[in-house]
Structure 1
């Protein structure tokens, strides 16, 4: 909770949608599900980032490709998720910066699909096959949407921001990650203070 308060203090007031979890009743289980139905289930989330397919990669395989990691957890009917995606769509500089420097993923927690993590995440897992619910609840502890995860080139979490971030602050945060200035901070608190100074041009 202290970590979240620090993020909110550092970056200002943010808005997000409370996570209601994944509706597991919407999905079948068992061997009777056809391969075609399974594939449709795996692809349902792609509509979530329609128009941003050049930015966000298919979350079936989540890897860094020797770039920084950017993961945005969102869900259906989350107005702040939609606002963040709309701002990314409208800003060529944000889109180009993400494409050049980040392996970016939009994970819609309204659907439960299978993901293969091909990097070392904050729990020191080297390789893992996980469901969306495990990724959001078990690994990243997502409690509101959007939640933005920034990771290094090994996939280790640098820090996370629960809530919507306006375009200018979002862009400055992307620059901050690429600058590697966050490495000077030994704790979340120190990193967030360095980020605040970076955003304010200190």
Structure 2
């Protein structure tokens, strides 16, 4: 009886525990593995967020993400705690601290914890693919995304 009660209590605690995000620690992992962090900000009842999530989970895009990025999916309406540099607070407060008012939004963070690029609003699969290439090649250091896309077209 006591074992059953302990099991029920343990399962209840596990099922209600939220996932917290320590972007400082994740940045260290990104730095060690030479990857960027891709943070997907979304919210409940957002049709464009759902469509963009489908695009991110598509076979073509998910392969790139698994190979080149550490992906965090942050729902503004969930209760996780985010730690980033000197900030520690809820998902919603974190989004506000970054100035995010529109969803979906993608934020890219390098291995040093610096935000290197952001994408506000819905993007089609091919647009996401170009953005991922832009970030992976670290082209944000010396050209705009538009210049990068022009270069891609020229190279093809």
* Bin for the TM-score computed over the shorter chain: 0.7 to 0.9
Counterparts of 1:151 and 1:80 in 2: how far apart (Å)?
23
* 1:82 aligned to which of 25, 31, 50: 50
**1:38–1:141: structure 2 CA closer, same or farther, 3 Å change rule?**
farther
Tell me the distance in 2 between the aligned counterparts of 1:71 and 1:95: 14
Task: Determine the structure 1 residue equivalent to 2:7.
Answer: none
Correspondence for 2:101: 143
> Partner of 2:141 in structure 1?
183
Contact conserved, 1:81 with 1:146, CA < 8 A, in 2? yes
User: In the superposition, relative to structure 1, how do residues 148 and 201 fare at CA in structure 2: closer, same or farther (>3 Å)?
Assistant: farther
Q: 2:112 — aligned with what?
A: 154
Residue of 88, 91, 102 corresponding to 1:129: 88
Residue in structure 2 matching 1:95, options 62, 65, 87: 62
The alignment's TM-score, normalised by the length of structure 2, stands at 0.75
Q: Which has the larger radius of gyration?
A: 2
CA distance in 1, matches of 2:151, 2:49: 25
Which residue in the other structure is 2:8 paired with?
Answer: none
List per-residue Cα deviations over 1:143-192 (Å, max 9, x = no partner). 1100111222222111211100100010111011111121114xxxxx34
Spell out, residue by residue over 1:36-71, the C-alpha distance to the aligned partner (whole angstroms, 9 max, x if none). Answer: 67972625xxxxxxxxxxxxxxx5333131220111
Q: Structure 1 residues 132, 157: closer, same or farther in 2, change over 3 A?
A: same
Q: How many residue pairs align between the two structures? A: 137
Q: Residue 129 of structure 2 aligns with which residue?
A: 171
Distance in 1, Cα, partners of 2:151 & 2:145: 10
Once residues 137 and 104 of structure 1 are traced to their aligned partners in structure 2, the CA distance between those partners, rounded to angstroms, is 20
Q: Which residue of 2 aligns with 1:25?
A: none
Give the conservation status (yes or no) of the 8 Å contact 1:182–1:194: no
The root-mean-square deviation of aligned C-alpha atoms, in Å, is 2.4
Structure 1: distance between partners of 2:145 and 2:40: 19
- Name the CA distance, whole Å, in 1 between partners of 2:92 and 2:14: 17
8 Å contact 1:147–1:162 — kept in the other structure? yes
